[in-house]
Amino acid sequence: MKGKISHCVYNINYHIVFCPKYQYRHKVFNGKVEDTLKWTVQEICDPYGYTLLRMEAMPDHLHIFLSAPPTAAPTDIVKKIKSITANRIFAAFPGIKKKYFWGSGLWSRGYYIGTAGNVGAETIRKYIEPGNPAIRR
């Protein structure tokens, strides 16, 4: 999805996946917890200029596909989403923190992030090859 900010048109899309701590023991994203998680991620996107393209919460991990402006660092996107969702879920369901996470955080430290766009790497390589008539030098 293309976006626009001052003097810039961009198409930067991220596939982000992260898991709660102790994922092999506790599958916590179902029912009202899943609804709260999804609602919170949607709510986070607008004020930060992200466009949520797709999201799926599995019982033990979360997939997010979003577009973000070039001013947003991928690590900052992940930090914001993890922090805000953890605070909201623990506020709405205080028993989860005590029962499943022993008073610690909701999310594991690691995550996956990949980029996606409309053009593949091979197309870009061919476009910028020396001698390409499409490029003015």
Residues catalogued as catalytic: 127
**pTM for this entry:** 0.82
Residue 135 in any domain: the answer is no
- Between residues 27 and 113, the one the model is more confident about: 113
Instruction: Tell me, yes or no, whether 93 lies in a domain.
Output: yes
Each residue's pLDDT tens digit, 25-83: 568 899 999 999 999 999 999 999 999 999 999 888 899 999 999 999 999 999 999 99
How many domains does the structure of the chain reveal? 1
Is residue 3 domain-resident?
no
Report which listed range, 5-14, 83-92, 118-127, is most confident: 83-92
Confirm whether 132 is domain-assigned.
no
Separation of alpha carbons 111 and 20, rounded Å = 10
Q: Per the domain annotation, does 123 fall within a domain?
A: yes
Q: Which secondary structure element, helix H or strand E, spans residue 22, and what is its range?
A: none
Q: Which domain holds residue 67?
A: 8-127
Residue 121 lies in a domain: yes
Residue 88 lies in a domain: yes
For residue 111, the domain's CATH number is 3.30.70.1290
User: Residue 41 and residue 92: Cα distance in Å, rounded?
Assistant: 15
Q: Amino acid identity of 123?
A: T
